[in-house]
Copies of this chain bind each other. A is one copy, B any other.
Amino acid sequence: SIDAQRLLGRILELGGIGRDGEGRLVRLAASDADRLGRDRFVGWLREAGLEIAIDRMGNIFGVWQVPENAGHAPILIGSHIDTVIDAGIYDGSYGVLAGLEVIETLKASALVPSRPLAVAAFTNEEGVRFSPDMMGSLVHAGGVGIDEALAAVGTDGSVLGEELARIGYAGDEEPGFLKPHVYLELHIEQGPVLEREGVPIGAVENLQGISWQHITIDGVANHAGTTPMSMRNDAGHAAARVVTFLHDRAKASNTPTVATVGTMRFEPNAINVIPSRAVFTVDLRDPFEHRLQAEEAALAAFLEDLAADDGVTISIERLARFEPVIFDVSIVELIETAAKKRGYASKRMTSGAGHDAQMMARLAPAAMIFVPSAGGISHNPREHTADAELVAGANILLDIVAHLADP
């Protein structure tokens, strides 16, 4: 079994790195806070005696290989250490640190693995500062070219490539240099299912599709006191109609479709000025591609009517679009078997969140292990998973890797 204290201690330590002036965890991709987190992670890789490789995308790899397995495709365990704004400490970091923990544990054992073992921390999984999300693994999998990715402009106007160079994590390796034999990712569920059903291990068999759009509505600024309601082209009101449309439609439907407007900005943003502009994002998700397309079409039709109704102009930019993914069934079965052997119930389930595994599944057989999230809360400092559950997940990962690497 893994060293529970070492794993839990590292999760806590990394969770303390990248706190802002208000004590919030804000380790946005390629920020100064991210640099601090990366430095700590690389330090642990070094202490564990792993070979360290960093690619041009800033993805960090720690590899353990022995002469006996040199030249074989590695078993890769990955996730990310960037966070959202005011994040919890488990999302991403748990999977990366558990990957390291599993390799350290096996390295200290008698096992001579048939393949190299590697752990990856992918750049910008969260997609909060730069779009799209899962960018590092997407580039690794060849889904987007490295130059296009490095040119991404952040919400703060920064350029990803410049930021990676600035924080010292623009590496030399060409993205995709490491071709995995199999990809595994351990993650907190970030949703309510496992806790509600009292099941400690999720065997994730698929992952829903994600559609991100950035919408700008232009109306006409005018005086809040003198402009009759009938003469307004209120961009803020038009944006509010989109928010209620999306929310009410998703809530009323009998499908698991989710719709979120997470960001909103008005211009000129003055109390007595009718907004001339509203800028916001839309996050739509569904496990089935045809339904995700139907939701996108419904939004497009609504925006068209809205532009006519409210006398506003609307422009739409696509930030991310990923089809649903189905994971490798033989790995899903390995998870179920490993859970059973350790005496844990497990459940096949869908991932509501996007993950690096979604991109790596393009390159190699892949699947994910979930552990419960208290109250289903994530992307929130109250994100929590009990120590015993974290340790259970890491031991299942250990058993699967040991099985896959045992010649």
Interface contact B229-A251, CB-CB below 8 Å = yes
Please give me the residue from chain B that is nearest to A221 by CB atom.
B380
Q: Dominant SS at the A interface?
A: loop
Interface contact A271-B127, CB-CB below 8 Å = yes
Instruction: Give the contacting residue for A86; candidates B128, B256, B268; CB below 8 A.
Output: B268
Identical subunits present: 2
Among A237-245, A328-336, A396-404, the stretch in contact with B:
A237-245
Cβ contacts under 8 Å, A269 to chain B: 85, 262-264
A365 at the interface (CB under 8 A from B): no
A300 at the interface (CB under 8 A from B): no
- A246-288 contacts to B (CB < 8 Å): 247, 250-251, 256-276, 278, 281, 283, 285
Interface contact B85-A190, CB-CB below 8 Å = no
A55 at the interface (CB under 8 A from B): no
Taking A237-B244, A272-B127 as contacts, is the C-beta distance between A376 and B260 under 8 angstroms? no
- Chain A 361-394: CB-based contact to B (< 8 A → 1; otherwise 0): 0000000000001001111100000000000000
Cβ contacts under 8 Å, A230 to chain B: 251
Interface contact A133-B264, CB-CB below 8 Å = no
Q: What 12 new A-B contacts, CB under 8 Å, besides A226-B378, A244-B244?
A: A189-B226, A208-B225, A210-B225, A222-B379, A224-B260, A224-B379, A226-B352, A226-B353, A262-B274, A264-B264, A271-B283, A273-B379
Please, could you name 16 A-B residue pairs with CB atoms under 8 Å apart, sorted by A? Answer: A84-B273, A86-B268, A128-B271, A192-B228, A220-B377, A221-B379, A223-B353, A223-B379, A225-B354, A226-B373, A226-B378, A229-B258, A236-B264, A237-B247, A262-B269, A273-B380
